[in-house]
Structure 1
Amino acid sequence: MASMIPSSNDFWFLPLGGCGEIGMNLNLYGHAGQWLMVDCGVTFEKQSGGLNRVEMPDPLFISNRTERLAGLIATHAHEDHIGAIAHLWGQFRCPVYTTPFTRQVLLRKLREKGIEAPVYTVLPGEEISIGPFQVRWISITHSTPETCALLISTEAGQVLHTADWKLDAAPVVGPALERSDFTKLAHRGVDAIVCDSTNAPQKGHSLSEAELFEDLLATVRDAPGRVVVACFASNIARLQTMGNVAHVAGRYLGLMGRSLHNMVSCARSAGYLDTYFNPVDVRDLAYLPASDVLVLATGSQGEPRAALHRLAAGDHPDLELSPGDTVIFSAKTIPGNEGDVEGLIRALTDKQIRVVHADHSDRALHASGHPYADELKQMYQWVLPRIAIPVHGERWHMKCNADIAQASGVPFSLLGQNGDLFDVVNGRVERGFAPVGRLWLDERRAQLNKVERPC
């Protein structure tokens, strides 16, 4: 492996981001002298002053080998998987492949930066050749539409790259996962699964998105005044659920937050949010009876420039909350954001606004998009891989995933971190194969800088 050029007998997996951490995913597969990139995302690091700084993997290894980069696949539209593409594509200049909804989101980002990259649409279920890699897109359920696992086949072996996923029989937006798509893989002899570890420590099975409707509806009906629901803009299934809630509860639906408007526009362009999702003009909200208003807002993580923060501060130009209004946090607090969220809740409660948070409610107000232990076990038993390669988690998440794989009958697990090379054919890891690090975006100067600290 010392040559750093994979031969036709090699099949390598090389993560430059997202292995040993949650977020900032950048994965490389190597075979027959070429590389295939899967995802290229960002993360957000808290800086002095409380603002989040956009950070992304340092792609130096592959930027120095772009003549060997066959293409880039975006598995789905979350920022930790596509957020760095518009910032780094100029270093790659390779074709990008993704599904229709993710393409809409990605094109908007590229056009904002004046980038005309070739972005090709691939439908779930399709199989195409990218250099020496044969790639099949397999529908898998997650919290944003058209998320796909990838079956990556070469002459040397086959890998199932799960991306983010869960087993959801009623995902609200998009089709349910087809079990046969994965059980059939066992007969093909999958060499390895590169698998999401985010919720591996959680026992049991994650909630289905469809299970949230009744509890969200009951919480809205309990509220005498306006209701503001904070959730992730990219969670299109949650947006549709709240559209259904607004319809049944007889409330006007409003949208607050630039990213929310952008995501809704992309979703509609791809054919989603076409039933019971009819937002009124945000400027009309202040003139409607309080008990008739249901607002979806950005800011569930306490972001200082998001719509919910401005509502709490009383400086939103379109609406002012009043005592007796309700704010529902329909999202889990991401580790590291606890202080910001607690400060936001204090600001709201000081205004005598009732706050209901998914983390502290007996009702089901949020469903994770990542698999719990029983779902991981089921996937391993369906596919029967020779090797499990846990990613998308900190070390302890990945260790839990490896333990589940072993208990599910997977013969081998390979644990590593960013920069390690996973030799799929021979089932071994070469530590520190590639240089890794982080870049941060200085938005004032529109430039990328290296993060001068250990990652």
Structure 2
Amino acid sequence: MSIPIAAPEPLTDGTLRVTPLGGLGEVGRNMTVFEFDGKLLIVDCGVLFPEEHQPGVDLILPDFEPIKDRLDDIVGVVLTHGHEDHIGAVPYLLRLKQDIPLIGSSLTLALVEAKLKEHRIKSYSLTVKEGDNEELGPFQLEFIAVNHSIPDALAVAIRTPAGLVLATGDFKMDQLPLDGRLTDLRAFSRLGEEGIDLFLVDSTNADIPGFTPLERSIGPVLEQVIAQAPRRVIVASFASHVHRVQQVLDAAHAHGRRVALLGRSMVRNMTIAADLGYLHVPDNVLIDYRKARDLPDDKIVYMSTGSQGEPMAVLSRMANLDHAIEPGPGDTVILASSLIPGNENAVYRVIDGLTRLGADVVHKANAQVHVSGHAAAGELLYCYNILKPKNVLPIHGEYRHLIANAKLAQDTGIPQERTLIADNGTVIDLKDGDARIVGQLDLGFVYVDGSTVGEITDADLKDRRILGEEGFISVIVVVDPSTGSIVSGPEIHARGVAEDDAVFDDVVPKITAALKEAVGNGVRDNHALSQVVRRTIGRWVNQKLRRRPMIVPMIIEA
């Protein structure tokens, strides 16, 4: 789905403008901008992780272009929880203006501040908890507890004279949560009685019927797998999944094993969680991984990152035998996470690699070692019936998720015209209980590539894909600048195109003839001659080798 580009209408007095800059049509880059009375409030500022067709890219950011000239108008950034797809882009936003206030729960802000420290940015933050009310410019904010796969997640109710908005962030309705912190349905009900004018709701599991299983159902499965494992156990999970790490610590402790944390983000996040009291570490369980290698194989559990098949994460490096810990026969590897859309191939490659090494790989498809952190269709239906919102904007999901969520809203009686299917950059105005699309911004992907931000373009990525998939050909020709005649060449070098450069012997006369014809027609410009070379060899390679490599012709004057 793509909404045609159209400049938004001028914002009228008393109207709340809502513009998602990320998180729609994708699982990641969550960021929504609210504008009222000349001031901006941002909810979440996350990253998207690259897919295979984006080689070399480290992270993908929301497009900040619509707010770059209005940084002084931002009253704050509300962060609903501490996952990367909601906080990962904060350092890049604060590079533009460091004193933008950050608002979130204690764990969320601690995780953000650790990231900012790496970027040498000092934040201005306000810690809030469920039940708190804060005023930021024209925005009255109320924070509501929601249950998710990370502690301390919050939904936020935003009140302005234009109406009441409820943004859930990521949530589910686990009725027996490990930390005892329920999604506050009483607060939801109260807001519903007050009258919700616009409901921004998590869509990730909207196409899954029923209810998300309980987190506590995972503990016994992990304990059983660890109890039966004959040698080492390696558990891979998200580096921020405090509940899952807690279950692994408890299971290891129950069976006389010690736990070593692997991966910089895992160590950092769990240290923060333990310091703040969200992770309870049994005595004498944690051990430095370097010392862990001295333990008997049946006395250790490694807790690592890399559950999504990320090439540089610990588990992928293990599968490639590029890590100090090399899995082998008798080892058990547990992938305690769900698949983020787009990561399937990378994850299955890691599973295959580990299996080839002889490890027993346990994952969601063959054991209940993970449950989602997002509300399924049954939970969303409960929310719609409790809240009875006037307008619904499904967020956080690919298009099939957004549409499934909209249909759920319609099933509960919300009119189709009041369930808005939007895109990143869609501009929505809310006034007098009516939410309508008034424009569409032209947004792009902002790529983080090594130390560069936003300098890599889609054209650059296309070149990288061509290099990786089709190969590279260079053609060097030395010409006399006065006559245009060929002094030397054409000399052809190729990589990844053919087994032997001798295969190009047949095309050399064709390039020579094409250049002579061009010179005979009065062509002397080096760029024009380069294009003659490119077209000639390009047609030949396509016809003879069925390839479309990158071709770099070089015309050198003698």
Q: Give yes or no for TM over 0.5.
A: yes
| Stretches of structure 2 lacking an aligned partner (at least 5 in a row) | 1-5, 462-558
1:92 Cα offset (Å):
4.1
* Structure 2 counterpart of 1:152, one-letter code: I
* Structure 1 counterpart of 2:439, one-letter code: R
Instruction: Give, in whole Å, the separation in 2 of the partners of 1:418 and 1:450.
Output: 20
Alignment of 1:373-392 (within 5 A): 373-392=377-396
Of the two structures, which has the highest relative contact order with CA contacts closer than 8 Å and spacing of 6 or more?
A: 1
Counterpart check, 1:16 vs 2:21: yes
Secondary structure at the counterpart of residue 50 of structure 2? strand
Counterpart check, 1:431 vs 2:456: no
Secondary structure at the counterpart of residue 209 of structure 2? coil
Instruction: Give, in whole Å, the separation in 2 of the partners of 1:419 and 1:348.
Output: 41
Instruction: Give, in whole Å, the separation in 2 of the partners of 1:164 and 1:272.
Output: 19
Taking structure 2 as the reference length, what is the TM-score of the superposition? 0.77
Q: Deviations over 1:311-332 (max 9, x none)?
A: 2233423x33331111011112
| Percent of paired sites with the same residue | 36
* Structure 2 counterpart of 1:117, one-letter code: S
Q: Is this contact kept in 1: 2:27–2:340, CA < 8 A?
A: no
1:64 Cα offset (Å):
1.5
Instruction: Give, in whole Å, the separation in 2 of the partners of 1:437 and 1:249.
Output: 50
Deviates more, 1:49-58 or 1:182-191: 49-58
Q: Is this contact kept in 2: 1:205–1:375, CA < 8 A?
A: yes
Counterpart residue number, 1:289: 296
Q: Is this contact kept in 1: 2:201–2:394, CA < 8 A?
A: yes
Instruction: Give, in whole Å, the separation in 2 of the partners of 1:333 and 1:185.
Output: 34
Q: Deviations over 1:274-333 (max 9, x none)?
A: 24374112112111111121111111111221111222233423x333311110111122
| Stretches of structure 1 lacking an aligned partner (at least 5 in a row) | none
1:334 Cα offset (Å):
2.1
Secondary structure at the counterpart of residue 40 of structure 1? coil
Instruction: Give, in whole Å, the separation in 2 of the partners of 1:2 and 1:47.
Output: 33
Distance 1:441 1:273, change over 3 A: same
Counterpart residue number, 2:66: 61
Q: Is this contact kept in 2: 1:125–1:136, CA < 8 A?
A: yes
1:7 Cα offset (Å):
4.5
* Structure 1 counterpart of 2:118, one-letter code: E
1:246 Cα offset (Å):
1.3
Q: Is this contact kept in 2: 1:46–1:53, CA < 8 A?
A: no
Q: Is this contact kept in 2: 1:149–1:162, CA < 8 A?
A: yes
Instruction: Give, in whole Å, the separation in 2 of the partners of 1:350 and 1:206.
Output: 33
Distance 1:118 1:221, change over 3 A: same
Instruction: Give, in whole Å, the separation in 1 of the partners of 2:303 and 2:218.
Output: 16
Q: Deviations over 1:362-386 (max 9, x none)?
A: x311010111100100111111111
Q: Is this contact kept in 2: 1:171–1:237, CA < 8 A?
A: no
1:14 Cα offset (Å):
0.7
Counterpart check, 1:78 vs 2:119: no
Counterpart residue number, 2:553: none
1:16 Cα offset (Å):
1.0
Instruction: Give, in whole Å, the separation in 1 of the partners of 2:7 and 2:444.
Output: 21
Secondary structure at the counterpart of residue 367 of structure 1? coil
Counterpart residue number, 1:233: 239
1:33 Cα offset (Å):
1.6
Instruction: Give, in whole Å, the separation in 2 of the partners of 1:49 and 1:10.
Output: 39
Greater CA radius of gyration, 1 or 2?
A: 2
1:4 Cα offset (Å):
6.4
Q: Is this contact kept in 2: 1:145–1:174, CA < 8 A?
A: no
Taking structure 1 as the reference length, what is the TM-score of the superposition? 0.94
Instruction: Give, in whole Å, the separation in 1 of the partners of 2:247 and 2:438.
Output: 46
Secondary structure at the counterpart of residue 91 of structure 1? coil
1:108 Cα offset (Å):
1.0
Secondary structure at the counterpart of residue 228 of structure 1? strand
Q: Is this contact kept in 2: 1:41–1:83, CA < 8 A?
A: yes
Secondary structure at the counterpart of residue 370 of structure 2? coil
Q: Deviations over 1:184-218 (max 9, x none)?
A: 11111111110111111000000111111111211
* Structure 2 counterpart of 1:121, one-letter code: T
Counterpart residue number, 1:372: 376
Q: Equivalent of 2:139, from 127, 133, 137?
A: 133
Alignment of 1:310-389 (within 5 A): 310-317=317-324, 319-358=325-364, 360-361=365-366, 363-389=367-393
* Structure 1 counterpart of 2:361, one-letter code: V
Q: Deviations over 1:16-54 (max 9, x none)?
A: 111222111110111112110111111111357965531
Deviates more, 1:344-353 or 1:399-408: 344-353
* Structure 2 counterpart of 1:386, one-letter code: K
Counterpart residue number, 1:223: 229
Q: Deviations over 1:337-364 (max 9, x none)?
A: 2222222222212221111111x21x31
Alignment of 1:188-227 (within 5 A): 188-227=194-233
* Count of aligned residue pairs for this structure pair: 449
* Structure 2 counterpart of 1:372, one-letter code: A
Q: Is this contact kept in 1: 2:8–2:427, CA < 8 A?
A: no
Instruction: Give, in whole Å, the separation in 2 of the partners of 1:265 and 1:4.
Output: 48
Distance 1:81 1:348, change over 3 A: same
Distance 1:451 1:122, change over 3 A: farther
RMSD: 2.0
* Structure 2 counterpart of 1:54, one-letter code: L
Counterpart residue number, 1:396: 400
Alignment of 1:265-280 (within 5 A): 265-276=271-282, 278-280=285-287
Secondary structure at the counterpart of residue 245 of structure 2? helix
1:424 Cα offset (Å):
2.3
Instruction: Give, in whole Å, the separation in 1 of the partners of 2:371 and 2:195.
Output: 33
Counterpart residue number, 2:32: 27
* Structure 1 counterpart of 2:60, one-letter code: E
